Amino acid sequence: MRPEFPRPVLETLRQPIETGEVVVARANAHVRYPCRFLLVAAANPCRCGHLADPARACPRAPDCGADYMGRISGPLLDRFDLRVEVPAVSIDDLAAPPAGEASAAVAARVAAARAVQRARFEAVPGAIVNADAEGELLAAIAAPEPAAASLLREIATRFHLSARAYHRVLRVARTIADLEASVPVLRRHVAEAAGYRLG
């Protein structure tokens, strides 16, 4: 996502992200087009991109970063389930062998979690994955254990989460639990999901 785009243009993403539809309104008709999509966005921390490097940042740092990212509204950011800050990669890290799990192992775990979700929503029309769950359905499939529910309440209160953000954290926690093949949503799942939202 580029904050370079005018704010009204960025704001047009809000409805499709939320509803999975684009509505084109004209004087004599409203037409709805389905547009379910996975949005992956990226942005530099400021216009020059060197906010984290004091040797290269512009003289306006850190205000330039706040001004730049301030072009993306809170309601639009609220619709992103995961937010991950990616620091610059050093030359030493580029030369090092890859760390972490192999892609095949991750893909197998994701496929298993998707299979669990397909089975979970078999009887629910229009629902395929946890992101489709709302209201009573979300409460039924993602009810956290007492310790996890307590943590989620504490996070929601401390960070003033909106209702939308609260439910998105819950959906992500359910998905993290699915990736671990865990039936209940545990405290660690809520903590990880909240960490992706709060940074």
pLDDT in tens, 9-49: 889 889 899 888 998 888 888 899 998 888 888 888 888 88
Res 64 pLDDT > 70: yes
Residue 22 CB-half CA count within 13 A: 8
Residue 72 near residue 43 (C-beta atoms within 8 A)? yes
Residues with Cβ within 8 Å of residue 105, at least 6 apart in sequence? none
Q: How many CB atoms lie within 10 A of CB 58?
A: 14
- Radius of gyration (Cα) for the chain, nearest Å? 20
Residues with Cβ within 8 Å of residue 167, at least 6 apart in sequence? 134, 138
Q: Where are the domains of the chain?
A: 7-80, 103-198
Res 57 pLDDT > 80: no
Give the Cα separation of 108 and 25 in Å (integer).
Answer: 43
Give the Cα separation of 142 and 54 in Å (integer).
Answer: 43
Average pLDDT, the chain: 89
Nearest Cα residue to 16 out of 7, 28, 24: 24
**Amino acid 1: pLDDT:** 58
Phi/psi class of residue 100: alpha, beta or left (left: φ > 0; alpha: ψ in -120 to 50)?
left
Res 170 pLDDT > 80: yes
Output the CA angle 118-164-120, nearest 5 degrees.
15
pLDDT band, very low/low/confident/very high, at 2 (cuts 50, 70, 90): low
What is the tens place of the pLDDT at every residue in 74-85?
Answer: 899 899 999 888
**Amino acid 190: pLDDT:** 97
What is the tens place of the pLDDT at every residue in 135-158?
Answer: 999 999 999 999 999 999 999 999
